[in-house]
Amino acid sequence: MTEVTVLICTKEILQSLTLQSIATAKANTNISFDLVVLETKDFAHPRDINKVLRFVKTKYFVTMDDDILPEKNWLEELIKVAESDTKIGAVQANIRTPEGIIFIWHGEANPFVREPEKVQEIGFASTALTLYKTKVMKEVGYFDENFSKWSFDTDYSWRIKEKGYRVVVAPKAKAVHLMSHTVSKNPEAKKYEILDRVYLVKKWFISGRFKDEYAINNSDFINHWRRYCERS
């Protein structure tokens, strides 16, 4: 019996990039895992993840985008970090784009400027490639389906931290992100982004729920969306 379920959400299961991501993930780990590939036509990523999460029985649940290329021992390294501390709830891979842009954040709109060299706290874990402990997920609950694609993983990470768990990056679990392959094809992407940013700010900042220890956010970014909320 495997200990890991890996979920890939995609708009086209048989597109070459999705197949490449699957093949790369399998080739670069010696750990067996249950693979779920969910074809979805809707722009509702949290809902898609929840559809699968409801049935997950494994110790770990990994979310992976359909344009991610994990590198050697990616899963071994994610699990190694997860098991190093009982208070770790989620572990993001060390993700970068083909151009070398770091896909890890201290907080909203506050990315890392260089690759991490050690396990450390991050502002939130991107579902592009993150391993979650399912026992922690049961305590936190499902992803908030009021989000569509943006900031829902930020929200979930902060809810993990509310429960007293850590969200960290595994520096040796490396992967290349080909960036928004699915999202970029949706003509309504900008509308959904605005709705998600507004919802995050209302839920965490206008309500006073956010705590500074959760993340180091870009204050200009948060204030921009706070003003947007006040005007709308």
> Does an H or E element contain 181, and which?
none
Q: What is the pLDDT of residues 168-193, one digit of tens each?
A: 999 999 999 997 554 555 667 788 89
Q: How many domains does the chain have?
A: 1
- Joined tokens for residue 221: 């970014």
Q: Is 119's pLDDT higher than 70?
A: yes
Average pLDDT for 99-125: 96
**Rounded to two decimals, what is the model's pTM?**
0.94
* pLDDT score, position 183: 52
Section 81-108 average pLDDT? 97
Q: Residue 121's domain is classified under what CATH number? A: 3.90.550.10
Segment 94-107 shows an average pLDDT of 96
Containing structural domain, residue 190: 4-231
Phi/psi at 107 (nearest 5 deg)?
180, -175
* Per-residue pLDDT at 94: 98
pLDDT the model gives residue 187: 66
Residue 204: partners with Cβ closer than 8 Å, 6 or more residues away = 155, 158, 210
pLDDT tens per residue, range 211-231: 999 999 999 999 999 999 988
The pairing of beta strand 34-39 with beta strand 4-10: parallel
Mean pLDDT for the chain overall? 93
Q: Which band of pLDDT confidence, cut at 50, 70 and 90, is reported for residue 145?
A: very high
Rounded to whole angstroms, how far apart are CA atoms 19 and 130?
A: 19
